[in-house]
Amino acid sequence: MSASILMLSARIALAVCLYAFLSLILIVLWRDLRAAQSFGTVRGRRPVLQRIRADGTPSQEFSLSKDSCLIGRSSGMEIPLADETVSAVHARVWKEGDRWWLEDLDSRNGTFLNQIPMAKSAVLCSGDRIRIGRILLEFRAGESATVPNPPPSAEPPA
C-alpha cells in the first residue's frame, strides 16, 4: 500500500511541476506580447538614432519625429550627417505599422546594419547599429538618450 501512495504522490508532484512550468511560459509569452505591442512607443516617446563616437560613447541624438526620415549629407535631410563618406541622400528610415524600417538609397559607400551590408530593406530593432559611411548610429525604440543634442559646431569629429 505504501508503494501506491508513493506513486500517487510522485504523480501529483509531477503534475504540479508541469502546471507551474506551463504557467511560467504563459507569463513570459504575455510579457513579450505586451512589449511587442508597445514597440516604438515606449512611454509615448518617438524612436531615436543616436550617433556613436569612435570611442563608443554617444554624442548626438536624432529624433525620428516623422514617419519617414531621410539620412544624408545634404542640408535638407531630416537626419543630416556632415561627412564626405556619406552620400547627399544616403538612406531612409520609415515607420510601417508598428515597425521601423531602414533602406539604403543606392549610396556610394553603402549602408551597414549590424556590420552586414544592406542589400534590401530591413526591420530595425532597438539596439541595432547602422553604419553610414564612417558614421555609426544606434537605433533606440522610444528610449531617452543620455546625451542631449549638442550644437553642430560643438560636436567632436566621429
More reliable by pLDDT, 156 or 125: 125
pLDDT in tens, 98-115: 889 999 999 989 999 999
Q: How many CB atoms are located within 10 Å of the residue 131 CB?
A: 20
So what's the pLDDT on residue 142?
Answer: 67
**Band of the pLDDT at 81, cuts 50, 70, 90?**
very high
Contact 87, 70 (CB under 8 A): no
Residues 72, 125, 157, CA angle at the centre, nearest 5°?
40
Report the percent of the chain where pLDDT is more than 90. 53
pLDDT in tens, 114-146: 999 998 899 999 899 999 999 999 999 865 444
